[in-house]
Structure 1
Amino acid sequence: MKKFMFGLFIAFGISACSLGDNISEDTCGEYTNVAFSGFPLSCNYTLKNPPLNPIAFVANTQEKMDSYFTKHANSCPNPSDPTIDFTKYVFVGIFSGEKSTNGYGIKITSIVENSCNLVINFYEHGPQSGEAITQTPTNPSDYVLIPKTSKPIYFNKTLESPDKIIIGSFDGACTGSAACQQFYQLNDYNIMNYLNVVYGSYEFTQYKYNAVIKRGDYTLFLKTIPTEILNIKGQTKTYGSPDSGDKKGVYFELRQGSVVTKIYIDNDDTEDQSAEIKAFKKAIQDKITALK
């Protein structure tokens, strides 16, 4: 982490500021990683007034949260409690401001701290090559929970790729255990462990996640993908019958720009699984085991 960064500074007496203010150099020691969790706000809250300009919002009380958001009934299949325990956590939201079309995004990638302050790293992206663009205004945002802190918070804009891989192990006949469905996102800035994933409902923006800051896993795992799957580019394919019988299988999703490839593979070795596919299935299973 460089000692001199540009971004947004927020003291806890301020609830929201524009992104882009300069922040000064500090001499408060080395930065260490801070654990954080993704919070699918749209499942439980509605933003009262979407900001027109880039802004960050920090809430350390329910009162401050309620000043920007209206709570509503959970609209996602995730059964977890949407209540934020402000004795343990601080809510952070970042916004790109209003965009004239779809295709824009903003994402918190990592959080670090030293003895003086806490720094939230984030990146933004525009429409991807080949993406279908609609002339509908959007307001990209991202939301996380961080451990409660009294340190000043700074925001640091970085350059990252939005490309990612999602791997998962599912068991539709299993209920009542987090081990039934294990899903992870790999990118080149962190690893996300999705929580309480519902069998068959694989739109992952609706789920909470815990993030582990680790660089390079996307690039490394990309090398293990067989040519057979790379050639399926932008399509969905199922090997065997993972949704019948014991309903066990592995899930693979590759997102590169606007191209999304999804693969479902039966845990049992079936005739349509080549040696390459069987080896890749094991690579996914081994990676999930290593991440648990």
Structure 2
Amino acid sequence: MKKLMLSLFIAFGFGACSLNNDDIKVDCGASEDKTFTGFPLLCSYNVNTLPVNPTAVLIGSEERMKAYFTKRENSCPNSTDTPPDFTKEIVVGLFSGLKTTTGYSIKITSIVENKCEILINYYEKAPQPDENITSAPNYPSDFIIIPRTSKIILFNKSTENLNNIVIGSFNKQCTGADCQKFYQLNDFNILKFQNVVAGGYDFSQYRYTATTKKGDYTLFLKDVPAEILALKGQTKTYGTPDAPDHGGVYFELRQGAAITKIFIDNTDTADQSAEVIAFKKAIQAKITALK
């Protein structure tokens, strides 16, 4: 690891620190990408004190959790989240600090680890062109869970293509844990969402497993038919995928402020062109490959 933006020399009692330290140079040998779990913490907890400045927090105990967060009475409608197991895990949180309008966010994208350090990469999003924003104070944040460690944790702000695709297979007759498969394709990683509820497609409510993978968004975008790209920002359903004996595939495309959502019946229906049917099969094949 050559150029690093922040070092956190941590013990498990660590609380918080700034994201604006000077760069340092550390060489700890060969590194490898690591998977991590996204944690929709704010579905279940409120932040006790919202940080005005950019801040990182590491939570390694129930006492530390209670110091920073208060359990909410009402969680997100489809959240099935469980508390972290602090005997095996720690929570890593990033806050962007106070923003005076909506349209901002912060997101952890990848983790790289070597024999003595863990590097957490993240990006920050500002309001996009044509995005509807309102004047209101907000505090963008993101939280993940990683295995307990005594290694130094470092943070690096990166520049990423923020557009992404979500694909999934759904069926209202589907029962059991994680029987519906939903994935987000970015140009920097792939997210596998856990325990997605039929009809509950607000993916900020779900835990996910993130695996570093470069370029999947750009590659899969080439398969999207022109008629679906032309629906930019709209929602469309092909056939009757919610029928009891049908089911279907889900496609969501985020490009800047525009969010396009498509539901396609597993049965080939009259409103599905040859291109849409071929695209449906491409989604099904991609889901199979990612399982």
**Alignment-mate amino acid for residue 282 of structure 1:** K
- Partner residue of 1:225? 224
- Partner residue of 1:85? 85
Q: Distance in 2 between matches of 1:73 and 1:85?
A: 21
- Partner residue of 2:70? 70
Please, what is the CA RMSD of the aligned residues?
Answer: 1.3
- Partner residue of 1:112? 112
Superposed CA offset, 1:143-181 (max 9, x none): 0001111111111110012211000000111212422x1
**Alignment-mate amino acid for residue 112 of structure 2:** V
Superposed CA offset, 1:108-137 (max 9, x none): 000111111111100101001100110111
8 Å CA contact retained: 2:128, 2:256: yes
Q: Distance in 1 between matches of 2:22 and 2:8?
A: 8
8 Å CA contact retained: 1:50, 1:139: yes
Number of residue pairs the alignment of both structures matches: 290
Q: Give 3-state SS (helix, strand or coil) of 1:100's partner.
A: strand
Structure 2: unaligned runs, 5 residues or longer: none
Structure 1 residues 100 and 10, CA gap change in structure 2 (3 angstroms): farther
Structure 1 residues 98 and 191, CA gap change in structure 2 (3 angstroms): same
- Partner residue of 1:263? 262
- Distance apart, 1:8 and its partner CA: 4.2
- Partner residue of 2:191? 192
Q: Give TM-score scaled by structure 2 length.
A: 0.96
- Partner residue of 1:242? 241
Q: Distance in 2 between matches of 1:10 and 1:210?
A: 26
8 Å CA contact retained: 1:35, 1:147: no
- Distance apart, 1:10 and its partner CA: 4.0
Q: Give 3-state SS (helix, strand or coil) of 1:205's partner.
A: helix
Q: Distance in 1 between matches of 2:50 and 2:184?
A: 28
Q: Distance in 2 between matches of 1:247 and 1:209?
A: 26
- Partner residue of 1:143? 143
Q: Distance in 1 between matches of 2:19 and 2:3?
A: 16
- Distance apart, 1:23 and its partner CA: 4.3
Q: Distance in 2 between matches of 1:74 and 1:197?
A: 19
**Alignment-mate amino acid for residue 56 of structure 1:** A
Q: Give 3-state SS (helix, strand or coil) of 2:100's partner.
A: coil
- Partner residue of 1:156? 156
- Distance apart, 1:35 and its partner CA: 1.7
Q: Distance in 2 between matches of 1:209 and 1:73?
A: 23
- Partner residue of 1:276? 275
**What's the % identity of the aligned pairs?**
56
- Partner residue of 1:5? 4
Structure 1: unaligned runs, 5 residues or longer: none
Runs of 4 or more, structure 1, over 3 Å off, are: 77-81
